[in-house]
Amino acid sequence: MNGAQAVIRTLVAGGVDVCFANPGTSEMHFVAALDDVPEMRAVLTLFEGVATGAADGYARMAGRPAATLLHLGPGLGNGVANLHNASRAGVPLVDVVGDHALAHKRLDAPLESDIDAIAGAVSGWVRRSLATAAVGEDAADAVAAAQVAPGQVATLVLPADVSWSDGAEVAEVPDRRPAALVPPAALDEVAGVLGESTVLFLAGDAVTEEGLLAAAQVAAGTGARLIASTFPTRMARGAGVPDVPRLSYPPQAAMQELAGTEHLVLVGAKEPVAFFAYPDLPGRLAPVGCAVHALSRPDEDGVAALRELAERVAPDAVPAVAALRRPPLPTGALTPATMAAVVGALLPEGAIVVDEALTSGTHLHAATAGAPRHDWLTLTGGAIGAGLPLATGAAVACPDRPVVSLQADGSAMYTVQALWTQAREQLDVTTVICDNGAYAILEGELQNVGARSGGERAGRLLDLGSPDLDFVALATGMGVPATRATSAEELAEQFAAALAEPGPHLIDAVLRPAD
């Protein structure tokens, strides 16, 4: 068996049976080997950022890694932004990057590139496979590395001749090691500081249904407040699940939400800091003098720690959970508020919501808190252009669940090619473009950083008009049926229709300014 065949068989044996691919010449043996291993599902994307973002979305929902197949340094470069997001999200991802044959590298051919340097910037594990006889082991190590808790990007650089040569063997992937238990001292420390001026700051496994229920039990019994991180990887939400607010993105708002906190307890989370520095604002968001404690690190078992804590400090407390309660269907102007109400009124049971709505999404949390049970995926690493790929991968992972992709217009354009893959694979994704015709988040940021604004030339760099983007044309050009909504009623009608039909749909929601 050749190297490519051994890699694919090893991946499949290790539970990695989906590959989001953008192959080139150096990956042709990998492509040919797909016909030998029908257990591997290969999904073609038209741009590498779609492949890496889809692999992220897949892992968030499947709980195990997908593979990517990228072409040399430039292909990896195109995938960097969403590998960054995956890395920050702590998801497992096996990133396979083809390279020149070993003897060809010294010739400095036009596509020769420093793959290792680029991979190192976004991977927790990097290995260049150097021998066909060992490539199966390399692939197995990559799968194992990807699944080191909580999950990381493992990049396997695969030279063409290592792929095409015979003499490879399938290797066994060791069982995934469970996340470490938190040390008793951490539990003791946290148990001693719970009270009304304490905030449990939740991310990672702490925002799964199990984590939230245990955290809410602690809160019910001690008066501690719960706040989730701004952009969690995957958050359980809806009726029956504790309704936990996420820390706001603007630092002033976040600081207000944390005001009065004397003890900040991190559960699967890092200490909250501002996304960006601003003149005259601190970067750390907790109040000065607030003590910071870690119940669980991202690589530890936060759910077990929360359950043990609940058992110890609040054994009889009942966690507060959201009741089933939807907003009424709105009428009139289509605004961020009425858009959110439509989503809240119609969100189906078991939906996966991918939220890259950014400034248009401020009303979504409240409007959907009482919707039927669903999961919420966010822009964890902050690199825009994740939403459409995340939705694509989530839909591949969960073909029986509806995916709702709420997507800011400017960010949508970074990886708009994802729509074609949704059409090819006939994925059940309903995309709502939050179309405000601007990089609205930057209009705010221009003022936040204290830059003098109002200039016409600066404004032109934040404006998506002249010409307006026509997302209906873009979607239909890639095979996704699309409509345009300019009122709350139209959005409701189109959203319901899209959810009722299988396959991908896109709705261009033309929003009036935020209300």
Residues 69-98 close enough to bind a second copy by CB under 8 A: 72-81, 83-85, 88
Sole binder of a second copy in the list 446, 485, 506, 511 (CB under 8 A): 446
* Rounded-to-integer distance, Cα 119 and Cα 155, Å: 7
Is 471 or 495 the residue whose CB approaches a second copy more closely? 471
With contacts defined by CB under 8 A, name the span among 23-31, 133-141, 339-347, 354-362 that binds a second copy.
Answer: 23-31
Closer by beta carbon to a second copy, 300 or else 508: 508
1 binds a second copy (CB under 8 A): no
Number of other CB atoms surrounding residue 312 within 10 Å:
15
DSSP annotation string for 376-443: EEE-TT--SS-HHHHHHHHHHH-TTS-EEEEEEHHHHGGGTTHHHHHHHTT--EEEEEEE-SB-HHHH
- Contacts of residue 477, Cβ cutoff 8 Å, sequence gap at least 6: none
Give dist(CA 293, CA 264) in Å, integer. 6
From candidates 197, 453, 486, 487, binder to a second copy by CB under 8 A: 453
| Interacting positions 341-360 with a second copy (CB under 8 A) | none
Q: Which of 103, 178, 185, 400 binds a second copy (CB under 8 A)?
A: 103
| Touching a second copy, residues 173-212 (CB under 8 A) | none
Among 181, 292, 472, 496, binds a second copy (CB under 8 A): 472
Encoding tokens for residue 392? 């694509």
Shortest spacing between CB 25 and a second copy, in angstroms: 4
Under 8 Å CB-to-CB from 40, ≥6 apart: which residues? Answer: 8, 11, 12, 17, 18, 19, 34
**Which stretch, 203-211, 215-223, 332-340, 467-475, contacts a second copy (CB under 8 A)?**
467-475
> In 3D, which of 412, 407, 435, 418 has the Cα closest to residue 480?
418
DSSP count for the chain of H helices, then E strands = 20, 17
Q: Which of 18, 34, 358, 398 binds a second copy (CB under 8 A)?
A: 34
Q: Residue 328 burial by CB count (10 A; 0-12/13-18/19+): exposed, middle or buried?
A: exposed
CB-wise, 267 or 441, nearer to a second copy?
A: 441
110 binds a second copy (CB under 8 A): yes
Is residue 289 involved in binding a second copy (CB under 8 A)? Answer: no
Residue closer to a second copy (CB basis): 159 or 221: 159
Map the footprint of a second copy across residues 117-156, applying CB under 8 A.
Answer: 117-118, 120-122
Q: Which of 241, 429, 474, 510 contacts a second copy by CB under 8 A?
A: 474
The three state secondary structure string of 212-223 is: HHHHHHHHHHHC
Tokens of 213: 């229920």
Q: Give me 405's structure tokens.
A: 């992709």
Residues of this chain, 293-312, that bind a second copy according to CB under 8 A: none
Residue 161 engages a second copy in binding (rule: CB under 8 A):
yes
Residues 403-432 within binding reach of a second copy (CB under 8 A) = 410, 413-414, 416-417, 420, 423-424
Beta strands in 221-369 (DSSP E): 225-228, 235-237, 263-267, 291-296, 352-356
Q: Can you tell me which of 25, 252, 256, 331 binds a second copy, judged by CB under 8 A?
A: 25
- How many residues at the interface with a second copy, by CB under 8 A? 104
